[in-house]
Amino acid sequence: MGDKDTGGSETTAGNRGSLGLSPRAERLLLGRRPGTAVRLAAVAGVLFAGTFLVHLPPRLVGGLSFPFGLLLPLLVGLAFVAAAAGAYHNDGLVVSVALAGGPSFGFYLPLGLFDLTYPSATMLTALGIGAAIAVGVGTAGFVVGAGARRLVDRAG
């Protein structure tokens, strides 16, 4: 509570953060530094765009297409590492879920948009699976990354 590394989230009256939450809840959801949270959200967007681009059908992007196919552990690993790294650098559960959501939505949205599977996935199915993976993997990455940072802080 007495942390000076709040990034200005305690600037409003009544001991409330800029989102109307307690400063502690705001730090848990968005991280210790709001500026870093914004930069990590941009990284999530880049992860989404990159994964979406390489998962488009070959007829649209030619040799850039890399169908993950049976390499779903690669997708989950990318989402987990992104979420854990984000949590290690800034905490922020919502930011970790966004970082995990970049690759997962980038993978599942083309399935719904371009009928890349049989039977075809609807957009609702693609969004639902992408969200489930983002929340599950992002939360796990948050626990590991934030926990690792706390261990390192206590050790050093």
pTM over 0.85: no
Q: How far apart are CA 100 and CA 44, in angstroms?
A: 7
Provide the domain count of the chain: 2
Q: Which residue has the higher pLDDT, 144 or 125?
A: 144
Same domain, 20 and 93: no
Same domain, 18 and 69: no
In a domain? residue 111: yes
* Cβ pair 7, 34 in contact under 8 A: yes
In a domain? residue 36: no
Q: Domain range spanning residue 9?
A: 1-30
User: Quick one: pLDDT at residue 76?
Assistant: 94
Which residue do the tokens 């305690």 mark? 10
Predicted confidence (pLDDT) per residue in 44-55, tens digit = 999 999 999 888
User: Quick one: pLDDT at residue 9?
Assistant: 45
Same domain, 45 and 87: yes
User: Quick one: pLDDT at residue 72?
Assistant: 83
In a domain? residue 108: yes
Same domain, 19 and 67: no
Same domain, 15 and 53: no
Spell out the SS3 assignment of the chain.
CCCCCCCCCCCCHHHCCCCCCCHHHHHHHHCCCHHHHHHHHHHHHHHHHHHHHHCCCHHHHHHHCCCCCCCHHHHHHHHHHHHHHHHHHHCCHHHHHHHHHHHHHHHHHHHHHHCCCCCCCCHHHHHHHHHHHHHHHHHHHHHHHHHHHHHHHHHC
Predicted confidence (pLDDT) per residue in 115-137, tens digit = 777 677 788 998 999 999 999 99
User: Quick one: pLDDT at residue 56?
Assistant: 85
User: Is the per-residue pLDDT at 19 higher than 90?
Assistant: no
For residues 32-46, average pLDDT: 94
Same domain, 64 and 14: no
Predicted confidence (pLDDT) per residue in 78-97, tens digit = 999 999 999 999 989 999 99
In a domain? residue 95: yes
Same domain, 18 and 88: no
Same domain, 85 and 139: yes
Q: Which residue has the higher pLDDT, 88 or 70?
A: 88
